[in-house]
Amino acid sequence: MLKIVVCVSGGGTNLQAIIDSIEAGKVTNAEIMAVISNNADAKALDRARNHGIEGICLSPKDYETRDAFNEAFTTTMVAMNPDLIVLAGFLVKIPEAMVAAFPGKIINIHPSLIPSFCGVGYYGLKVHEKALARGVKVTGATVHYVDGGMDTGPIIAQKAVYVQPGDTPEVLQRRVMEEAEWILLPQAIDDIANGRI
């Protein structure tokens, strides 16, 4: 059984997609042992608790320095010892010590077709604003392994989504979630849990 910790900053729609896929049997040999958020008010923590999953808030705001937070975050994760760490809309850079402690065991979902619209400053709605401003006809989502950079780890899977005339960033964001993110991330977890990756 693959033990997973999911890290989320906001609403937790990708978390919900994972939970739903596990409960429906679409993702097998995997269980979420905890959800960690840097935001005490994150709806994702409510989603976790509603499904009997431990919800933990670890916020940089609660520490005097970023280094102190990074150390506490890494220590907490090492103590939990998950088989896989899933970043599902987590707006905190993963500490280098954590990347080193979990090589090849951290994955992230990003709302574009990497290498487009990724890296520092590209998160959430900003990704879709930039895609629309650039005039791309196709966008999508990418699941990738996490390394020491920002959105630079090896790609696991990608799914394209067409941009429609009249799209706003909010409309495009929702379509990318529905047509790509909520499909790709559970699939990647199932593939990892069942030895296909």
Catalytic residue, chosen from 51, 110, 128, 144, is 110
**The model's pTM:** 0.95
Q: Report the distance separating Cα 22 and Cα 18, nearest Å.
A: 6
Within the chain, which residues score under 50 in pLDDT? none
Question: Both tokens of residue 145?
Answer: 């392994």
pLDDT at 88: 96
Domain of residue 69: give its range: 2-193
pLDDT at 185: 97
As a whole-number percent, the residues of the chain with pLDDT over 70 amount to 100
pLDDT at 3: 98
Active site residue 144: no
Strands 84-87 and 54-57: unpaired
Q: 3-class SS at 73?
A: helix
Q: Report the distance separating Cα 56 and Cα 85, nearest Å.
A: 14
Q: Report the distance separating Cα 54 and Cα 46, nearest Å.
A: 10
The total domain count for the chain is: 1
CATH for 75: 3.40.50.170
pLDDT at 188: 98
pLDDT at 106: 98
Q: Report the distance separating Cα 110 and Cα 114, nearest Å.
A: 8
pLDDT at 75: 97
Q: 3-class SS at 48?
A: helix
